[in-house]
Amino acid sequence: MIPRGAYGEQLRRSFRLTSAPALVTQTIQKTPIAVTRCKRDVPHREPTLPLPREDAYMIVLQIGERAERELWLDGKTVRTEPVGAGDVVFQDLRRSPILYMHTPVDSVNFYLPRATLDTIADDGNVPRVGDLAYTPGVGVHDAVLAELGRLFLPAFDHPEQVSKLFVDHLTLAAGVHTAQTYGGMKSVADALRGGLAAWQERRAKEILSANLEGEVSLMDLARECRLSISHFARAFRKSTGLSPHQWLLHRRVEAAKALLNDSKLSLGEIAISCGFADQSHFTRVYTRLYGISPGAWRRQTDRG
């Protein structure tokens, strides 16, 4: 069971939002990383409700153009600066942050417990990080987190099209980037230059091919290959040129392309059988990879 924290429903209540869709993963030793979409078109007229104190960080990525707010930590006001699109602001949840939002809310909020930072370091066999380095109330522009947030946005709108592997991949990337950039964690990339052994690559591909819906996790794949998650993710990309999530998408499309030759199956039936959420999801991914829709490709093949 994933423990409750400052994401999803808890953020919805605190910020008085109509909804706050969240994506949660447990990539390492059942410690969570969560991402919540927070959006409100009008400013707050009252402070946010206090979040429970816990040893965790909330990293707020600004999506809208400009945000102005007042920040209180441990009951005392803190100087703030306006933040723009692509800026991130760190909140230490041990200090019970309370906000007065003078502009509409438009952000993606990452929830990162201390236990997750520790296990990310342990998984990479590098020293654990101390407190993250940042100035409370002051944003910094972070191109990596901004890009990860951009990739998450469609997932909040269409959660039925999101695989567990996709969420694992992006949230782990956010956690590792934060630990390295703001916690000073040493990179383990140099120590992990090799790819997978032949049996490991074969086993990983077997598992992915048998789970085209994407509900297998990075933790499951790494365990089957007898590797840490960090080592597996890097070694898989080294061996295949793709992340596990990207390889799965290509495998889905390959399976679908083979079925397109069977005129008895509709595009919707092919989509579901190959792990896509629906026909539109299948069409979008297929077109992105091949530059032609599956329906158009089938018509061309039939004429040929």
Predicted confidence (pLDDT) at residue 23 exceeds the cutoff of 50: yes
3-state SS record for the chain: CCCCCCCCHHHHHHHCCCCCCEEEEEEECCEEEEEEEEEECCCCCCCCCCCCCCCEEEEEEECCCEECEEEEECCEEECCCCEECCEEEEEEHHHCCEEEECCCEEEEEEEEEHHHHHHHHHHCCCCCCCCCCCCCCCCEECHHHHHHHHHHHHHHHCHHHCCHHHHHHHHHHHHHHHHHHHHCCCCCCCCCCCCCCHHHHHHHHHHHHHCCCCCCCHHHHHHHCCCCHHHHHHHHHHHHCCCHHHHHHHHHHHHHHHHHCCCCCCHHHHHHHCCCCCHHHHHHHHHHHHCCCHHHHHHHHHHC
pLDDT tens for each residue of 73-82: 999 999 999 9
Q: What is the fold, at CATH topology level, of the domain defined by 247-303?
A: Arc Repressor Mutant, subunit A (1.10.10)
pLDDT tens for each residue of 124-165: 788 999 999 999 999 999 999 999 999 999 889 888 888 888
Q: Residue 57: which pLDDT band, with cuts at 50, 70 and 90?
A: very high
pLDDT, averaged across the chain: 89
Question: Which pLDDT belongs to residue 146?
Answer: 95
Give the domain ranges of the chain: 9-183, 198-241, 247-303
Q: pLDDT > 90: what percent of the chain?
A: 60
Predicted confidence (pLDDT) at residue 230 exceeds the cutoff of 90: no
Q: Evaluate if pTM is beyond 0.85.
A: no
Predicted confidence (pLDDT) at residue 192 exceeds the cutoff of 90: no
Secondary-structure class of domain 9-183 per CATH: mainly beta
